[in-house]
Every structure is written in structure tokens, then in C-alpha cells.
Amino acid sequence: MGQQAVATSSVARGPIRLWPFVMAAMVLCAMPASGDVARGSANAELTLAPAPADSDGDWTYTIKPDDTPAAIADRLLSENRSAGQLMGYNSRARDAALEPGNTLQVPVQWLERRPRPARAIAVRGQAWRTSHPEGTRDLLDEGDRLNVGDGVRTASDGYARIRLADGSTLAIEPDSRLQFNRLTQYGRGAMADTRMNLKQGRIETHVEPTEENGSRFEIHTPSAVAAVRGTRFGLETREDGTLLEVREGEVWFGTRQDMQPIREGYSAFLSPGPGSEPVIRPLPPTSQLASNADGLESEVPLQARPATLQTPAQDATVKQGQPEFEWSLQGDSEQARVEVARSAAFEETIATSTWETGDSARVNEPLEPGQYCWRVATRAGGDSTATSPVNCFRLAGSLDATRVISANTIDDRVNLYWQSVDSADGYRIQIAEDREFERIVQDREVSEPEIRMRLDPGERYHVRVKGLAPPPMHSDWGEVREIAVE
């Protein structure tokens, strides 16, 4: 045969796949070379049409009101493809009328391709962007563009929210690494191909539904693949495997060779290694069985109850790092989520955790030092929700520790110098006769990282220093330095 050919049914043309391609070639090779078959006779029920040499499958386009071949070609096809080629590919005349609701087959390789970068829309704490191909790493800021090959990494206090070109969003949680492998839009937004690699940590996604079929949204982890079209789900990769939680829609999950659909309301866990099968469990049920007055079982909706808050307690001060919130659930089959605001009135919720079935969590966005209030929302069943009372607490920031770097003594005069501390308004220095600082002989506050004083000669002393700043900042004593006064 002089050119590549595609076999299509004369009755109804469906999506072109590789196997009809091969079958047509086999049939044609097996049949005698007659003029009727070469022209596509009715007896053979086969017609031949040229296909692009770089064919990568077809995309099914649903015709809309007021569509014309020229308008579709202008909106979808690359510059080297025309409306006439599109209609010929579908065995239709160039000026044929198009009926809304019918479909056209469009070779994917004919579609106009545009790289569409993602953008950071919120950043908290420390997060970095790794640029491709340079391999440089810079702090990620709100508004930064992320191109194909770029990556995002968050620290233990880091968080980033990313918006894709189609409106889908990703929340990259602390201690996570994500790389964008493909960010392609076909035909002015008609179809998108988005692929990412979650190398570490957890992300929460909200994938916008696609108007047409054929769009691709995949997230790869070291042990699994999640493929979706319009859904909300969480994905976490760990040393022992990958965890998927589907909140809306459906996600195809598994290895590249063996994927299965995970429906809304279910989680799946896949361990690494050959032969692993996903462990699928339901999220908390929407109802449970109870016995009625006749002794028969009937379905009773679950009722959410307000949780009891544990820590941080009311008016507590959290001094170290990001707070861990703890509570106790009061109902059955409940999920809980922490909500944090600046005031007890909760005019605006500034941070939340993911929905949990346990009794503790951290919020997704790092909190800066300051005053906060928190509560727990609970849900059980489809519409039953409850909210706990509110506790308010103070999150204290921490100054860096300092240490004495030089101690000069001349007779009974002592000159002490220590490392300066960023954001410190001053310093507190204590000198004691014992290492436990039970017998303190000097306790002073100074504005500069140095001091001069007199001490009794012939004695040994212990010195410690810490930075000073107004609440909610705090600091700990630096390491103890022993000095001898001759």
C-alpha cells in the first residue's frame, strides 16, 4: 500500500483506535487486489481515508449550536490543519451542515498545543521553586509562574496553593515535593494534559470538570498513579506506600499496568512493590442500621455531635513550633476538621486541617506568631454537621538562641561578647556561681550583644544569655559558658 490507511464503518464512524488500523491492513492484505475494494466497495463495508503519520489517537468533539467547520478548525486545530481536512477525516463534505449533539473525531496530533504554566496563589512559611532546566532553587512567592519541569518543595512549616490554567487547584502541604511533568492545553482550552510527580508528602486537589472528554490529569507517586477528571481528593506518598482519599467524583488508582476506579466516599492504600493490590476502605458511612419498634432493622441517618476540645486549652500559650490540636469525638462514625480564626466570632477562617477520623491534627497552613481561636467541625452522614465551642490561645514565636563567643578578663574586670539575634530588642544576661543558676550574682538587661562588669577575682562563674522581644515572641537561654576571673 502506498500510504497509511484507516478503516471505518460505512454505517457509523466511532473513535479510531490502533486495532481497527491493524485489522484493516490485515483484511486488505488478505483480499485480492480489485478496483472495487481499493475504492471502498459497499460489499466490503470498508472505506479508506488517510491518517496522519504521527497519529496519537482521536479526540471526540461534541458539536455545539452555531458551530461551523471553519469555526471549529480555528478554535481547535494547529495552523497546518484546515477545516477541509477535518471534515474529510470524518468523511463529510467541507460545507456539510453540523447538527448540535453529534460528534466529530479529531486526531489529537492535529490539535493546537500550548504550554500553560501554573501559578502560586498562596504561600505560607518556607517553600521553594526548583526551575528547569537550570536546576536553581529560589524561594516561592505568591504570583510566581511554574512551568513544565519546575518543582515545588515545602519545609516543615511550608504550604503552597497552586492554580492550574484550567482553574484546578493544588494545596501542597508541609514537607512535600511536587514536580510538574506536563502542563499542556489543546485547542484553546478544549482539552488539557496535566501530569505531576508527587515525590514526597501530601497534596489536596480540586480538579475542575472538563467540558469535553479526552482531558488527562495524572499524579504519579513512587508506588502509584491517580488519574482523574473533575473531582476532589487527597493524595499522600509515604515510605510504606500511597494513600488516596476521594471526596467527590471518581479517581482511577493503582499501578500504571493495573488501575481501578475508586469512588467518592472511599480511600485506597497501595504499598510499593510488584503484585501489590490497593486496600480499599469506605470513609465514614452516611447512615447506620438501628432496630425500630417492631424489631426490624431500618436505616437511621447518623447525627454529628460537637467535639470536646482538649489542647490547646483556653488562654494557653503554645511556645514551640506549630500547634497540634487535640479533641475527643462524641458521636459514631464521625469525621472532624480543625478550623482556626483570629477571633472567637470566626468572621473569617484562616486555616483548616483535612477531615480526620482521629482525635488530633495540624492545620494545613502555617500560623505566624499571634493570637488565635480554634474549634472543631464534625460531620456524620451526608448533611449532619456540628461545631464545637471555641478555645483561644496564643502562639509564641521563638527567637534564635545565642551564645557567648568571647570572655576577656583583666584583674576583676570582665568583658563579655555574644552572638546578636535578629528581631531581638535587647538581651538578658545571668551570671551565677553554679551551673544550675541557683546562686545568681548578676542578672541584667542590655541593648547590645556585649557587657562590661566587675566580678570577684579568684572565682569561677557560669554565664548564659537570651534575646528579648515583646509577646508573643519568646526565647530560651543559650548554652552556658564557664569563665575564670584571675
Co-location of 480 and 455 in the same domain: yes
Is residue 34 exposed (0-12), middle (13-18) or buried (19+ Cβ within 10 Å)? exposed
Other residues' Cβ atoms within 10 Å of the Cβ of residue 474: 18
Nearest to 372, CA basis, from 390, 352, 393, 387: 393
Grid cell in block for residue 117: 504554566
Q: Quick one: 265 and 317 in the same domain?
A: no
pLDDT truncated to tens, each residue of the chain (486 aa)? 333 333 333 333 333 333 333 333 333 333 333 333 232 322 222 222 233 333 357 777 888 888 889 888 887 887 888 889 989 999 888 888 888 888 888 887 787 767 778 899 888 888 999 887 667 889 999 889 998 889 999 988 888 989 887 778 888 988 899 999 888 777 665 567 788 999 999 898 888 765 555 567 889 888 888 887 667 888 888 888 898 888 888 888 988 788 899 988 888 999 888 878 888 888 755 444 444 444 433 444 567 788 999 999 998 888 766 789 999 888 766 888 999 999 998 888 888 888 887 888 888 878 888 899 999 998 876 567 888 999 999 888 777 888 888 888 887 788 999 998 887 889 999 999 999 999 999 999 999 999 998 888 888 999 999 988 877 677 889 899 998 887
In a domain, residue 59? The reply is no
**CA 127 – CA 130 distance, rounded (Å):** 10
Q: What is the CATH number of the domain that holds 261?
A: 2.60.120.1440
- Pairing type for strands 177-186 and 191-207 reads antiparallel
For residue 435, tell me if it sits in a domain.
Answer: yes
Q: Is residue 298 part of a domain?
A: no
Q: How many domains does the chain have?
A: 4
Of 181, 184, 182, 162, nearest to 116 (Cα)?
184
What residue numbers bound the domain in which 34 lies? 1-51
Q: Report the helix count and the strand count for the chain, using DSSP H and E.
A: 4, 40
Residues 371 and 446 grouped into a single domain: no
Domain assignment present for residue 25? The answer is: yes
CA distance 59 to 16: 9
CATH of the domain at 452: 2.60.40.10
The answer to whether the beta carbons of residues 321 and 395 sit under 8 Å apart is no
Q: 32 exposed, middle or buried (CB, 10 Å; 0-12, 13-18, 19+)?
A: exposed
The reply to whether 236 and 124 lie within a common domain is yes
